[in-house]
Amino acid sequence: MALIKLIAEHLIPSALIGFTAYWLTGQGHLITIALLTGWLIDSDHLLDFFMAKWRGKIIDTWQTSIKSGSYFKSSGKIIVFLHSYELATLWLLVWGALGEWEIGIVGSFAWLIHLAIDHFSYSLNAYAYFLSYRVYKKFDINAICSEK
């Protein structure tokens, strides 16, 4: 059940954004864009998991560790480089500069919705999804997470 929630919490909003954009514009590729930027950005969690694994910091099975996020606590770091307001903004600006505003807007919107869902679902510092902040704090979990 936890795995279904984990997948659906970003898949459903991303699909809704993509299908709405398709309905409004007739551009089917916007569905893919919304899924890539709103759902598949979670693939960056794999980097955090494998970095903790390579350092010998993980004691759980990979399934338990991925589902629970215990690899963050085990490593003491939160990198998730795609979880970034800066990158969502850059996406919009680059696609806009290329004259592809629909891709920029849909992708950026799906990305920001993903970040908002995460931000309100977990105990995070207000700046946690600024990649520059995480770099400045050396990805330290204690600086990024806050107690509710």
**Res 148 pLDDT > 50:** no
The predicted pLDDT at position 42 comes to: 87
Range of the domain at 128: 2-144
Per the structure, the count of domains in the chain is 1
**Res 60 pLDDT > 80:** no
d(CA 138, CA 67): 24
| Packed helices 101-121 and 85-97: angle between N→C axes, nearest 10 degrees | 170
At 25-42, the pLDDT tens digits run: 999 999 999 999 999 898
Q: Binning pLDDT at 50, 70 and 90, where does residue 3 land?
A: low
Q: Which residue has the higher pLDDT, 112 or 60?
A: 112
Mean pLDDT lowest among 15-19, 69-73, 104-108: 69-73
Buried b (16+ CB within 10 A) or exposed e, 90-124: ebbeebeeeeeebbbbbbbbbbbbbbeebeeeeeb
**Res 111 pLDDT > 50:** yes
The predicted pLDDT at position 2 comes to: 61
Q: Binning pLDDT at 50, 70 and 90, where does residue 65 land?
A: low
Percent of the chain with pLDDT over 70: 87
Do residues 111 and 41 make contact, with C-beta atoms less than 8 angstroms apart? Answer: yes
**Res 84 pLDDT > 50:** yes
